[in-house]
Amino acid sequence: MRSLILALASAAMLAACASTTPTPEKTAAAPAPAAAKAAPQCYSGDHGKFLDIGTKTTISGVNVVCEATSDGKGAQWMGVKAKH
């Protein structure tokens, strides 16, 4: 009796799997346009965020400006030059 129940359950599972309709293939989505490369920014721990190049602020009591590095791939805080 036990083997008969197992055989019927197996047959039912096999029939259920065989009768499913195949899912249509998803159409290939158009490739996303290449994201514009973000401009370098400087991180300010005092403000808790990134700031754009040219931003002047005071960090830990020192006047600084966010300037691009010489290769243009990054940015760093530089002391504001005194006007004489």
pLDDT at position 80? 87
| Residue 12 lies inside a defined structural domain of this protein | no
Q: Is 78 part of any domain?
A: yes
What pLDDT sits at residue 78?
Answer: 95
Residue 61 lies in a domain: yes
**Does residue 13 belong to any structural domain of this protein?**
no
Host domain of residue 48:
38-84
In a domain, 22, yes or no: no
Q: What is the pLDDT of residue 27?
A: 58
pLDDT for the residue numbered 70: 93
CA distance 81 to 9: 83
Tens digit of each residue's pLDDT, the chain (84 residues): 667 676 666 666 666 665 556 666 665 555 555 556 788 999 998 889 999 999 999 988 899 999 999 998 999 999 988 776
Look at residue 80 and tell me if it is in a domain: yes
Pick left, alpha or beta for residue 61 (phi over 0 → left; psi -120 to 50 → alpha; otherwise beta): left
* Structural domain total, the chain: 1
> CATH number, domain at 47?
2.10.70
